[in-house]
């Protein structure tokens, strides 16, 4: 996933309105953890599919 700087700024501004500024660091960490988990699972699934296809 590649994001442009303008997309990142828009998301940051929206986050400031949705999440109170003092809760923003916690919300960002939680979002980062969730993204890492999704990427890890996606990679595992892709590896499993590739291994199955190569058999």
Q: pLDDT tens, 12-54?
A: 888 888 888 888 889 889 988 998 999 999 999 999 999 999 8
Q: Give the residue among 36, 16, 37 at the shortest CA–CA distance from 27.
A: 16
Answer whether residue 2 shows pLDDT above 80.
no
Domain interval for residue 28: 5-53
Answer whether residue 55 shows pLDDT above 90.
no
For CA atoms 5, 9, 15, 21, the dihedral sign is positive
The number of folded domains in the chain is 1
For the whole model, what pTM was predicted? 0.62
Structure confidence at residue 1 as a pLDDT band (50, 70, 90): low
What local confidence, expressed as pLDDT, does residue 5 receive?
A: 87
């Amino acid at each position: 996933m590649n994001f442009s700087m303008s997309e990142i700024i828009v998301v940051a501004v929206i986050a400031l309105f949705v999440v109170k500024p003092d809760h923003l660091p916690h919300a960002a960490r939680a979002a980062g953890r969730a993204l890492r988990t999704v990427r890890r699972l996606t990679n595992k699934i892709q590896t499993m599919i590739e291994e199955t296809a190569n058999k």
